[in-house]
Amino acid sequence: MSRTTDNSLKRAEAIALNPQGKGFKNEFGDAATQVYSVRIKQKSSFNLRLTGNASAELVQDRNRNARIDSGETLGRSQLSQGKNSLKLNSVNKGTYFLKVNGGGDRPATYQLTLSTQPVSLSSTSQSGGYQYLKSSSSQSRGLLSDLFGNLFGGSSSRWNGSFINRTAGNVDDYNSYNFSRPDLKKDLGGRGKSGKTLARLKLNYGSGSPGSGINSDNYALQTSTQVSLKAGKFYEVKSDSNDGTRFFFRNRQTGKVVTSLNGDWRGNSSGAWTQLLSVPENAGGSFDFYVQYYERTGDSAIDVSLKEVQPTAKVVTSTLNLRSKASTVNNSPIAALNSGTNLKILGKVKSSDDTSVPDWYQVSTSDGKRGYVAAQSNLVQVDGNSSIANFGNGSSNGGSSGSSGSNNNNTNNNSGGIQSGGTTSNPTPRPTGGSGSSDGSINSKGLNVLKSFEGLRLDSYLDPVGVWTIGYGTTSGIRAGMRITEAQAESYLKQDLDRFERAVKSAVKVSLNSDQFSALVSFTYNVGEGALNSSTLLRKLNQGDYQGAANEFARWNKGDGVELPGLTRRRSAEKALFLGQDYTAFL
């Protein structure tokens, strides 16, 4: 951090303006002044706010001698209501200098927010229900708060909230939210940090309004606070709220949203929703933790927490190979773990060379063994009815409420962490093709799809993960040297299908015809219950967007980011069956 005690501009620190609203906090130490340089790329307004015992002046070095000369000061901040502000309606393209003056001889701490606006601030873009300034219409460097919800003010150690009124028809349509002009801004209290808990937001408005000008029913809230996440650690996001909650994390240095969770975005239901996050070694740092919430009718209550945890798990297959690295490729097991073995999960990693088994847990056992096991829900069950998502991998619809889940071979990753959004129309109408109402069992067409892609093996074999398997992919109770008949394979399949049929019935909250239900059972049989529960497919389906859900099948065709032709065909067949179309062309 450069500092100067005279009118020299030579050691000015460059401020790189960006559209997301980058925050910073500077301390003077023993120096009395500090100088920044800023490049304005087009004719713009200039808006500055400064809190603390300091003032500022804007300078243009017209004669380029790296000093502040007479007539080069364009404006000085004015003190009003405890804050210094400096506003210019128009400054031309060029390089400017900002000189911040401390409050006398004593060291001072200040907080600075700076923005330039070629066009109106109301020009925003939306993505997944979160708003950002368009880089073509506004560039900013901001401080400690959501640039939209609270441009000037708020504190990183508190929950800074913005409320908007909604209607019964759009209260949960987060794609149409716009917090740039909230109906109410409100300090919701301290961050709630205590021990391993990094942040907690607990509010109860009962049947009343949260504040002046806000409905008692049908409103939405966006609020945030600052948290620090440690590399290599695990964190639990938990919500027990009435009604829906969703979350995202924004890097305070880059302004980029790195992880978003669609959370428990539904009306109040029994049981808390939880999601475990694994922070990779290169992904720690300071983040703004955002919560979005909607209240439809009845009582309003929010209870959200973020805390550091140490996850544990249990082996749920007959035997599971422990390996020295996260791969089955040229890597013999170092031990075989029996069913019921308790595990401490030390990390979640991606294999560097194994496309068939891309996701792994680094684990330790109670007797001191350490290594890697495949991170699949039919092999390892994470304790606490939650799944583990990798922090920094973009969007996730993970988490669970009363049922175990795990992210399997596919993750929902998007550039920038959020799917492109904007105001959306009503959900796509439900497809009309296919058989009649589902009776809760897979039909003959679904079995045809499942059997075609699973294949039949009458002799037991080790799958790539090292699990003994037989028949149509059955793993429970299978051992080396087993041989079965086709009739036994059918019996094993029926037992397995009972489990996955129950999983689909439990997860889906809308009506399904027989083909839709059967396609989902085939899908879940392949990817696991946890993957279904954490999928955008399920979220869209439960919102009544049947066509949108059908379009999600195609996204589950990759292993470690590489498209697998067999999975592509299977997803195409399942999508066609779901839509009541001819699926046989893909078999």
Residues designated catalytic: 454
Secondary structure element (H or E) that encloses residue 205, with its range: strand 197-206
Secondary structure element (H or E) that encloses residue 228, with its range: strand 219-229
What tokens appear for 384 in the block? 């606490």
Query: Which phi and psi (to 5°) does residue 349 adopt?
Result: -135, 160
AA letter at 4: T
What tokens appear for 185 in the block? 């801004």
Q: For the beta carbon of residue 336, count every other beta carbon within 10 angstroms.
A: 13
Q: What is the DSSP letter of 355?
A: S
Q: How far is CA 344 from CA 27, 372, 389, in A?
A: 42, 11, 16
**C-alpha–C-alpha distance, residues 235 and 277, integer Å:** 5
Q: How many CA atoms lie within 13 A of 527 on its CB side?
A: 31
Q: Are 26 and 13 in contact (CB under 8 A)?
A: no
Q: Are 154 and 226 in contact (CB under 8 A)?
A: no
| CA-wise closest residue to 377 among 361, 395, 363 | 361
What tokens appear for 464 in the block? 């790539």
Q: Are 417 and 397 in contact (CB under 8 A)?
A: no
Q: Are 219 and 244 in contact (CB under 8 A)?
A: no
C-beta contacts of 208-214 below 8 A and 24+ residues apart: 208/300, 210/163, 210/184, 210/186, 210/300, 211/163, 211/184, 211/186, 212/184, 213/165, 213/183, 213/184, 214/163, 214/165, 214/183, 214/184
